[in-house]
Structure 1
Amino acid sequence: MATAERTQSWQFWSGLAFFMLVLVSTCSGIGWLYYTAMDAQEVPLKRLVVQGELDFMTPGEVRETLLGEPLGSFFSADVDKIRTQVEAMPWVAKASVRKEWPDILKIFIVEQQPLAHWNANQRDDALVNQEGQVFYADKSVLDKSLPYLSAPEHAVTEAVKHYRNTSELLGLNGFHVTQVELSERFALEVLLEDGTSLRLGREALLERVQRFIDLYPQLKEHQQAPLDSVDLRYDTGVAVRWRNPDEQQQES
């Protein structure tokens, strides 16, 4: 009986020792795998691929931004953190980041699409994009001229709307808008490429633009100097000022 008990006790402790050995070995293996996976030296990201149609920035600028600090290993690199870093770059509107086994980090970039300069008399780097959002970036990379929008900071949506509406109507009739100014009282003034200023006020804006378009052939026929401004804020008629300072204001 005593012999049987000793045998059972030995088997129990032997089994427990074996179980503990397996448990320790498993935990050690998992720990080794974890630290190996997290070690950038063991599982490094060797290639950084930048994709997207880039007009205002280069892939090198993206790499320079990201490689300023360690990215981590293939497993430890935080794609959300990397995306946030990329989207903080001035000309980036959106970015997506993904890892591709075994050593590639791919970044796809959507650039800002500038619509116009924004309040250039206040900040040299302010722009507004096609979605009507203000952003700040280096304008020296622009390859084409943009119109200038000026308005109270909270009225960017209204300024963009007025620019699009007036420039579309005027553009259909051969005029090019270079500047739109919306005052604190939301009175609108539009500057044309030839230097003519259209004062439209706050009401019936497109009707007043159309009145200028209809009247323009007569103004051109009778003008003796370039137009300076056309005030269309009257219910009937307009006030015209010629650019020559010796000319007096004429009413039509």
Structure 2
Amino acid sequence: MAKRTNKSNRRKKPRKQAASRRQSQFVINDWLPSASYLKPMLMIAFLLLLSTAAVQGYRWLMRVDTLPVRHVSVSGDFKYLQPEVLQEKLASEVKGGFFSLDLEQLREELETLPWVYRVALRREWPDRLHVYFEEQTPIARWRKTALLNRYGEIFKPGLDEIQPEGLPQIVGESGREKVLIDDFIRYDQMLSETGLVLARLEEDARQDQHLVLANGMQLALGREGHDKRLVRFTRVFAQTLSTVASQIAALDLRYSNGFSIRWHEPDPQALKRGKGHV
């Protein structure tokens, strides 16, 4: 009976070892991720690696000493601006690499310079920067010290800058610049059809407008109906008044169906000379 028992025990021993191996495999399989999770995990790891490389690359490109800008060129139609002065200004302002240079900030700084209306900047690989300047176009003087461009925007040239000569003048309340520059341009076009030139537009606090022409003639327009009154004046002037324009001092156009004329006072010396010939 004992021998049978030993044989039975020997036969069962391999079964225990096989069971132990199966149990170890189960433990390892439980620890390893399944195939459905492995691919997303690898993708996440790849994306993390890629983003880290991108951040490090961006930091390198944004360094001041990476591809520094070595050449700056300037262009534009210059009448008041001096290119050599702009070059000096850019030499002190352009600090940075090809990619790290803040073009928006540089543009804003350059557009604060006198006589600069607009600036456009362009990078040129690998170490160049091109700057295009558009000058202000003065249309008229605003009050005593400032100028107005065609958009009714005020700008002031520096004291050491070139000052324009022969500009007409506009005087009015603050905040009325855009309206008055539009009025001035429109009036000047209407008057030019009769050979007259507008030299000064004044508007008081009540928005009562007064014009002074280049020949010294003054026109009272009033507060309303400006275009209608000016059209009526130019029509009559072309028909009957152009031949005696030098004798007219002022006209009041504020009447509903006409205007009044104030003539120059006769020259006393001319009167004496005239009497002497009688």
Q: Is the contact between residue 191 and residue 198 of structure 2 (CA under 8 Å) also seen in structure 1?
A: yes
Tell whether 2:202 aligns with 1:206.
no
Letter paired with 1:38: R
Q: Pick one of 192, 195, 210 that aligns with 1:174.
A: 195
CA deviation after TM superposition for structure 1 residue 213, in Å:
2.3
State the match for 2:157 in structure 1. 137
- Unaligned regions of 5+ residues in structure 1, if any? 1-22, 248-252
Tell whether 2:122 aligns with 1:72.
no
State the match for 1:128 in structure 2. 148
What are the superposed Cα offsets for residues 71-129 of structure 1, whole Å, 9 maximum, x if unpaired?
12323222112111111112122112222122111112222222111122xxx1x1111
What are the superposed Cα offsets for residues 127-163 of structure 1, whole Å, 9 maximum, x if unpaired?
1111222222248635663211111111112212221
Tell whether 2:68 aligns with 1:47.
no
Deviates more, 1:138-147 or 1:52-61: 138-147
CA deviation after TM superposition for structure 1 residue 49, in Å:
0.8
Q: Is the contact between residue 45 and residue 72 of structure 1 (CA under 8 Å) also seen in structure 2?
A: yes
CA RMSD of aligned residues (A): 3.0
Gap change, CA 1:232 and 1:71, over 3 Å in 2: same
Tell whether 2:150 aligns with 1:112.
no
Q: Is the contact between residue 64 and residue 95 of structure 2 (CA under 8 Å) also seen in structure 1?
A: no
CA deviation after TM superposition for structure 1 residue 177, in Å:
0.6
- Unaligned regions of 5+ residues in structure 2, if any? 1-48, 269-278
Structure 2 length-normalised TM: 0.67
Structure with the higher fraction of residues in helix conformation = 2
Gap change, CA 1:238 and 1:74, over 3 Å in 2: same
Larger radius of gyration: 2
- Of all paired residues, the percent bearing the same amino acid is 29
Tell whether 2:134 aligns with 1:94.
no
Letter paired with 2:232: R
CA deviation after TM superposition for structure 1 residue 61, in Å:
2.1
CA deviation after TM superposition for structure 1 residue 58, in Å:
2.3
CA deviation after TM superposition for structure 1 residue 186, in Å:
0.9
Structure 1 length-normalised TM: 0.73
Q: Pick one of 21, 34, 38 that aligns with 2:63.
A: 38
Q: Is the contact between residue 66 and residue 82 of structure 1 (CA under 8 Å) also seen in structure 2?
A: no
CA distance in 2, matches of 1:175, 1:188: 18
